[in-house]
Amino acid sequence: MNKRKVVILSFLLFVIVGCTNTDAFTTKGESESWESTMQYSITKDYEERTGTIKYNGDEQIKNVSYKINFPSSLGIGSSGNLEVAEGNQKIFSLGKSGGNNHRDIQLFRDVIHDVTITVSWVTDVGEYEETISFSQDN
């Protein structure tokens, strides 16, 4: 009898999880001096994203800021200044953000390759700006 309950509960859990209609995927991008990975989790009611940028240059960064440029059809965006730790920090977290606005999952997948991140940074040598372009992994 207990085995039957476990099977039934497992099946119900599988059905409930399968009905959440969540789409999760990763995009990766690069520019001459930077590379980035962004992870997205999207339902019809909520969108969440996290990401990192990694500096591939040799100079020590003193200051870095970014702007995530989403297609206007998504109605979202993000920007900020990133704190640079002592030493030669190379990887920076873009944090976690999202919203509970209605999201069209297919629209998101269709235009996500149009996302770019504009990175501005300062080193001892000078000030720079580059744009990271993305491609979808899965």
Which pLDDT score is estimated for 2? Answer: 58
More confident residue, 128 or 39: 128
Domains and CATH numbers, the chain: 21-136 (2.60.40)
What are the phi and psi torsion angles at 50 (to 5°)?
-135, 160
Instruction: Specify the 3-state DSSP secondary structure of 71.
Output: coil
Burial 71-104 (b: 16+ CB within 10 A, else e): beebebebeeebebeeeeeeebebeeebeeeebe
Q: What rounded mean pLDDT belongs to the chain? A: 78
State residue 33's pLDDT score. 97
Q: Give the model's confidence band at 46: pLDDT under 50 very low, under 70 low, under 90 confident, else very high.
A: confident
Is the pLDDT higher at 26 or at 130? 130
